[in-house]
A and B are shown apart, each in its own frame.
Chain A
Amino acid sequence: MSKGVKIIVSLLTTYAALAFLHIWLNVGFDKLAVGGSSQAESPRRVGFLPVT
């Protein structure tokens, strides 16, 4: 393998590793949080002033 090809393969491998990490962080954690769903449903925000 030429040096140029090695660099490209190395970059692609790094990119794939980072992409996997990104997916795991965003999806894997969500699965843990909501018990299996890949789409975590975070509660929607409801604003208020402290007035009765």
Chain B
Amino acid sequence: MVGEGFYEPVRFSGFPEMKEMIISNHLPATFMLAPMAMALRQQGLPIKIVYLGHRDGTAMMVHKDSNIYNLKDLRGKTIAVPNRYSNQHLIIFKGLKDNGLSIKDVKILEMAPPDMPAALYSKAVDAITSGEPFMGQTQLEGYGRVLYQARDIWPGFISCVLVVNESVIENDPDWVQKLVDGIASSGKWLEVGMENRMEAAENVSKNYYNQHPKLLRYVLSEPPDRVTYANLMLARSEFERIENLALEAGILDGSVAFEDYADTRFSDRTKGANPYDWKVRK
């Protein structure tokens, strides 16, 4: 897969493989789970979070025939998450706590997001949670039911962040800025209107995701705010919230600091970014 221009998109199926590529210094930049990036930095990897990938766009799905109708019904159930170091894991931790339960009352299973729909269909697990479009896929195919949308529990939910190797930041900050500016303007363009979202669904499904355009059209429109891209700037308070939950859940220890794992310079410069002036093909 080769992109036009200054970067080459590399698609992964799961986060463990991505993590290995980062560790072996073969991936200068990547979108990855926020707590995973924080944990890797804590372990000494020379990486920084520089921007967000999207907001919201995470749901928990149960089988339509299941007897799970609220979070309390999850007691004793098996839930698939993308990774232990994910906000999908932390939101379960928070949701259960808010309902008088503990994470120990459920069984958490790590699973690559593309494998989750089949696991729910076959009832190998009781619930799945990851970023779209895999949650929407279970609805579209008729066997999934939404237990919650992440934004219902955690408004402005953050899933993936853009992580860049420190050597690239140091040696070629212009490249990092160009990448961040591009994401900012693309996000603004997506929020201009539904016509743009549908165009993106067609393009991304064929050229990047290898998924059916109908699926991406669905998750980018049902409802329109299922995934949002308007504000992708880094905010300390939001990351401190993740830190606190991760510390409470025991997936990070006390040695994390926003200044250490985040570099806000590139994000700050996107303030007032304008949407790209791409026109939708008629």
User: Measuring CB to CB, which residues of chain A are less than 8 angstroms from any residue of chain B?
Assistant: 41-52
Contacts and interface: CB of A to CB of B under 8 A. Distances in A.
Interface residues of B, number: 45
Contacts of A52: 54, 57, 131-133, 216, 219-220, 227
A43 B3 contact: yes
Interface of B: 2-3, 5-15, 18, 21-22, 26-32, 54, 57, 113-114, 130-134, 159-160, 168, 175, 179, 208-211, 216, 219-220, 227
Nearest to B27: A47
Question: Chain B interface mostly helix, strand, loop or mixed?
Answer: mixed
B175 A44 contact: yes
Contacts of A42: 8
B169 to A, nearest CB: 12
Contact of B29 (A41, A44, A49, A50): A44
Contacts of A43: 2-3, 5-8
A45 B134 CA distance: 24
A20 to B, nearest CB: 30
A7 B208 CA distance: 56
Contacts of B133: 50-52
Q: Which of the listed residues A42, A43, A44, A50 has the most CB atoms from chain B within 10 Å of its own CB?
A: A50
A38 to B, nearest CB: 18
A39 B256 CA distance: 39
B9 A46 contact: yes
Nearest to B29: A46
B167 to A, nearest CB: 11
B113 A48 contact: no
Given A50-B208, A51-B130, A51-B131, A44 B168 contact: yes
